[in-house]
Amino acid sequence: MWLLAELTYACPLQCPYCSNPLQLPASRKRELSTGEWLRVMREARKLGAVQLGFSGGEPLVRQDLGELIAAADGMGFYCNLITSAIGLNEARIAEFREAGIRHIQISFQGSDRETNARFGGSDSFEHKLAMTRETIRQGIPLGLNFVLHRHNIHQVSDFLHLAEGLGAEFVELANTQYYAWALHNRDQLLPSAAQLEEAEAAANRFRQRHRGNMRALFVAPDYYERRPKKCSNGWGTTFITITPEGDVLPCQSARAIEGLEFPNVRQDSLENIWRGSSLFQKFRGTDWMQEPCASCPEKENDLGGCRCQAFLLTGDAHATDPICELSPEHHRVGDAIRAAQAHAEAGEDAVPLLFRNTANARKLATAEA
């Protein structure tokens, strides 16, 4: 079982595909305290969670991160840090190493300084390179994460060479998945089929030429698939996400589904929430399914796809994920691809990307009200 601890929604970057909610983050004063996180982690261990991801926002914003890692490692968690590297330095890497961090994932927004700054909203490329080298120098297993969209997907080959030069063990070429900020900016981000094909071919060419130690994983955007991706390995089976203010979610995006009530660790134990809450029961198994899923021979393979995506694209969280070509709403995916192409042809500045920051979150809230 996996525990994803979203320590804070505060972040020095402004990526327009951020998976954090569109809403303004609550005041940092409402974030779980160190003591509350320790209790939650102990409860998760008791439930059988072994993998722990410290994420955000930017988890390095939390000054107690070293303390949390040390405590989690002591409890028997395998600790992963998911970071932009902003806020990282040699001393902090040493502190985390001492505390027992097992793996660090550093994200890049582009394969060169300019692209990285353009999409991250911060001139951080050289710092990311330095921190990648330092993490490797200190002997901590490291992976690089390159988030792809149509303005940087042509850099796949450059990025793989960069990663290899740095000595990374693992690279994830992660296409943007269209939730939260990414969904809002989908017309400006979604790559074309041709772009995607070329990027995947570039990744394959690299793998064939370089039989070194670096592994590279290419994650395609599901909009071009014929079957949906399985809901987080099964709703309420493997993943627990805890938001900065202590809401407990079956996956990172679940708050997108309107009408659900989210239990909070300040009101109840994690065990009660996991076993008994209506939220975690809601889409467990297959009993909740409608047609065409309910009678589909493949229903156990993908569990009807992603519940959040079903809601976001059709308005009904019980519907078949429209990525599936058997979904009666599958045309919505084709419409989205065509809309993105039309936008690209009209010129990229027709509607500018909305970067994830407080001012833009406020703008969206005002527009909605």
Partner 1 sequence: MFDHTTAPFRLNPGYRLQYEEAQQCQVLLYPEGLVKLSDTAAEILGRCLEPITRERLIAELQRDYPDADSLSDDVREFLNDARRQDWIVAAED
- Residues within the interface to partner 1 (CB under 8 A): 1, 47-48, 50-51, 76, 78, 80, 102-103, 139, 141, 143, 170
Residue 47 or 220: the one with the smaller Cβ distance to partner 1 is 47
Tell me the two tokens of residue 192. Answer: 């074309």
Q: What are the Cα distances from residue 303, in Å, to 101, 103, 320?
A: 34, 30, 9
Spell 324-346 as b/e; 16+ CB within 10 A means b. Answer: beebebbeebeebbeebbebbee
Q: How far is the CB of 47 from partner 1 (least distance, A)?
A: 7
Give the integer Cα–Cα distance in Å for 80 and 101: 6
**Rounded to the nearest whole angstrom, what is the least distance from the CB of residue 42 to partner 1 in the complex?**
13
> CA dist 36 to 242, 249, 317, Å?
12, 17, 31
- Distance separating alpha carbons of residues 103 and 52, to the nearest angstrom: 10
Query: Of the two residues 102 and 118, which places its CB atom closer to partner 1 in the complex?
Result: 102
- With b for 16 or more beta-carbon neighbours within 10 A and e for fewer, the 226-255 pattern comes to eebbbbbebbbeebbbbbbbbbbbbbbbbb
- Secondary element (H or E) of residue 93: helix 90-99
Nearer to partner 1 (CB atom), residue 6 or residue 247: 6
At closest approach, how far in Å is the CB of 45 from partner 1?
Answer: 9
User: Nearest approach, Cβ of 275 to partner 1 (angstroms)?
Assistant: 13
Q: Which is nearer to partner 1, 76 or 352 (CB)?
A: 76
Tell me the β-bridge partners of 80: 53, 103
Cα separation, 318 vs 331, whole angstroms: 18
Q: For the chain, how long is the longest CA-to-CA vector? A: 57
Closest distance to partner 1 from the beta carbon of 124 (Å): 23
CB of 270 to partner 1, least distance (A): 13
Q: Which is nearer to partner 1, 204 or 213 (CB)?
A: 213
Tokens standing for 107?
A: 């994200």
Compute φ and ψ for 322, nearest 5 degrees.
Answer: -65, -10
Whose Cβ is closer to partner 1: residue 24's or residue 47's?
47
Q: Which of 108/119 has CB closer to partner 1?
A: 108
| In the complex, least distance from residue 1 CB atom to partner 1, rounded to whole angstroms | 8
